[in-house]
Chain A
Amino acid sequence: MKYQSQKVALAYFSVAMALFAIQVFGGLLAGWIYVSPNTLSEVLPFNVVRMIHTNALIVWLLLGFFGAAYFLVPEEAERELFSTKLAYLQLGILVIGTLGAVASYLVGIHGGREFLEQPLWVKFGILVAAVIFLVNISLTVLAGRRTAITNILLMGLWLLSLLWIFAFINPDNLGLDKMYWWFIVHLWVEGTWELVMAAILGYLMLKLTGVDREVVEKWLYVIVATALFSGILGTGHHFYWIGLPAYWQWIGSIFSTMEVVPFFAMMSFAFVMVWKGRKNHPNKAALLWSLGASTVAFFGAGVWGFLHTLHGVNYYTHGTQITAAHGHLAFYGAYVALNLAMFTYAMPMLRGRAPYNQWLNMTAFWLMTGGMSFMTFVLTFAGTIQVHLQRVMGEYYMDVQDQLGLFYAMRFGAGAMVVAGALLFIYSLAVVRRQAPAGNAVGEAA
């Protein structure tokens, strides 16, 4: 760690990991309610549990992005952050907003647009925090060295913050409501967040493999170009059945099919860089997470996304367990695993613990990745049966669900594996101590 102000990332990553724990426990509880539906049904109904699960996910991923930006921008710009005070103020606002939102949900105060349930004052808080962040990071970048990594990172963060405006727009007309809602949901994960992902992945590759900056940066521009060229019009794959013009069925199908390209490119990029790189960086766990993130993102977003994106297929699969399978693996691969890669890379430095024993961390990777993959498979099978019975044969929804019990039981098992992995991961970064420098970085358990 070259710059003192990079230290603010430690606070961001710590809060992010605490919310990560809340998120996976919320998910585990929701998974258990599928198995045993009367659980807590009077005190904590499923809709509130799910709200906490999804909101915690989104907030911690964003905190991870903010922290990553505070960590990597000083190194890229070759100067201290404009203001560490502003960075802590921003974090404070976000923490208060998050606690306020969770408390509101628990007493039944919430909105009803999926993922945007936060009370209005929390939405404003998020906006204020985003503005503080953008000012702080932009002033740092403008005064220092400009690189492709910071360019792309900033562009992604500016655009995703701008899109937050649509959180305040809720037309009475349900068709319009749905259309503008996707401006956040889709244009975040299949547009602006991809820029952030590419920038962070590029930074990690630069540090971990020692490949030339020039090579990394050219790849980055190509990756983000394919991301936006496909992802913007790809929004059309959500416009098939909500009252929009029929031309979206063609535009949506064609452009969203091309959305596979940036995810394939990011995976290829990561592997080619490792193969070309001469450096043998001691943080093997960070490398594992980086390669894992780009690979699982390709399968979760690319393959599982394409699976149901053509309008003829989506007519049958829309809003079934197929959607749930895809949503889980895509978020895990592209954004969860990428954030965990960054935490794994930065935390030992932030805490002065490098080099450290990575065995626990790498075990956590395989537990979580194995669990998420298994969950995706069982939900895909459940979804296939659901599509056939409900959408083709016309059997009533609840009767179909009654026949899927076995899959939901296995999904709970997969979820338990993920929770175990998440706890192990947090333990490995928060507790495990520095290792004697002479020791082998990858060795026996701590």
Chain B
Amino acid sequence: MSEILTKSRARNVFYGGSLFFIAVFAGLTVQSHSHVVSRSTTSMPLTEEVRLGKEGWERNSCINCHTLHGEGAYFAPEVGNVMTRWGVVDDPDAAAEMLGGWIDAQPSGIEGRRQMPHFELTDEEKRGLSEFLRWADKMNTQSWPPNDAG
């Protein structure tokens, strides 16, 4: 064993193999990138409203309580399918109204219940958020999550 696997041979296998896997990964990345752009996220256009919503989602760091498509903190409900859960995924006006109402009602102040902070948002920003969440809901996530509970 030790004669066959010398140190320099082990090193060369490491360098060569790593380059090989990096190349394969790079190729698959290019393919995946174009798959996202041209197939899995096309059921709703990426409008200015959606962009504004994503920006608001990030500025308020919603991800550090919620999950979005299962990624984030695990302290608050999944929001990647919240528009489906609320039954408004195909109704932009109802979606904006429900989300706006929800945000305005926080924090609930209920003793012993996890609190969502108060966010000072304009009507456009709230509409952007609901459009962003509708857009995310419509991505092809290979039918994840398993049910509407998220």
In the assembled complex, the CB of A384 is this many whole angstroms from the nearest CB of chain B, namely: 14
Interface size class of B (residues with CB under 8 A): 35 or more
A386 to B124 CA separation, bound complex (whole angstroms): 36
With A173-B46, A218-B10, A241-B145 given, name 9 new contacts (CB 8 A).
Answer: A38-B111, A117-B61, A218-B5, A225-B17, A228-B17, A318-B145, A319-B78, A320-B74, A398-B77
- What residue in chain A is nearest B26 (Cβ atoms)? A232
Query: B71 on the interface (CB 8 Å rule)?
Result: yes
Q: Are B40 and A112 in touch, CB under 8 angstroms?
A: no
Q: With CB as the reference atom, state the residue of chain A lying closest to B63.
A: A114
Pick from A218, A222, A241, A243: contact of B70, CB below 8 A: A241
* A175: B residues at CB distance < 8 A: 36, 40-41, 139
Choice from B11, B64, B139, B141 contacting A221 with Cβ under 8 Å: B11
Q: In chain A, residues 225-257, which have Cβ atoms closer than 8 Å to a Cβ of chain B?
A: 225, 228-229, 232-233, 235, 239-246, 248-249, 251
- B-chain residues with CB within 8 Å of residue A241 when the two chains form the complex: 69-70, 141-142, 144-145
User: Is the beta-carbon distance between B24 and A41 smaller than 8 angstroms?
Assistant: no
Given contacts A110-B61, A229-B17, A401-B114, contact A390 B149 (CB under 8 A): yes
Interface string of A40-71 (1 = CB under 8 A from B): 01100111101100000000000000000000
List residues of chain B with CB under 8 Å of any chain A CB.
2, 5-7, 10-11, 13-14, 17-18, 21-22, 24-25, 28-29, 31-33, 35-37, 40-41, 46, 50-51, 54, 57-65, 67-78, 107, 111-115, 117, 132, 135-136, 139-142, 144-150
A352 within 8 A of B: no
Most buried by B among A34, A47, A229, A318: A47
Residues on A with beta carbons closer than 8 Å to the beta carbon of B32: 179, 239, 244-245, 248
Task: Say yes or no: B70 contacts A235, CB within 8 Å.
Answer: no
Taking CB atoms, residues of chain B closer than 8 Å to A41 are 107, 115, 117
From known contacts A233-B21, A242-B141, infer whether A397 and B35 are also in contact, taking CB-CB under 8 Å. no
- Chain A interface bracket (under 10, 10 to 19, 20 to 34, 35 or more): 35 or more
Select from chain B the residue with minimum beta-carbon distance to A217: B7
Cβ-defined contact, A315 with B146, below 8 A: yes
Q: Is chain A's interface secondary structure helix, strand, loop, or mixed overall?
A: helix
Cα A179 to Cα B30 in complex, Å, equals: 11
CB closest chain-A residue, reference B59: A112
Chain A residue numbers with a CB within 8 Å of B77 are: 396-398
Residue in B7, B17, B33, B115 whose CB lies within 8 Å of A218: B7
B149 lies within 8 A of A172 (CB): no
A41 CA / B76 CA spacing, docked (Å): 14
Number of A-B contacts (CB under 8 A): 203
Contacts of B68 on A, CB cut-off 8 Å? 174
* List of B residues within 8 angstroms of A117 by Cβ: 61, 64
Q: Which residue of B lies closest to A152 (CB)?
A: B14
In whole angstroms, what is the CA distance A117 to B37 when docked?
Answer: 25
A316 at the interface (CB under 8 A from B): yes
**A176 within 8 Å of B by Cβ?**
yes
Contact check, A172 vs B54: say whether CB atoms are below 8 A apart.
Answer: yes
Given contacts A112-B60, A391-B146, contact A179 B36 (CB under 8 A): yes
Complex contact A233–B73 (CB within 8 A): no
Chain B residues contacting A248 (CB-CB under 8 Å) are 32
Contact A319 B64 (CB under 8 A): no
* Distance (whole angstroms) from the CB of B137 to the closest CB of chain A: 11
Contact flag A173-B37 (CB < 8 Å), given A117-B61, A391-B147: yes
Chain A residues within 8 Å of B136, by CB: 174
Question: Which A residue sits closest to B150, measured CB to CB?
Answer: A397
The one of A37, A38, A172 in contact with B46, judged by C-beta atoms closer than 8 angstroms, is: A172
Q: How close is A6's CB to chain B, nearest CB, in angstroms?
A: 26
Q: How far is the CA of A334 from the CA of B74 in the complex (A)?
A: 23
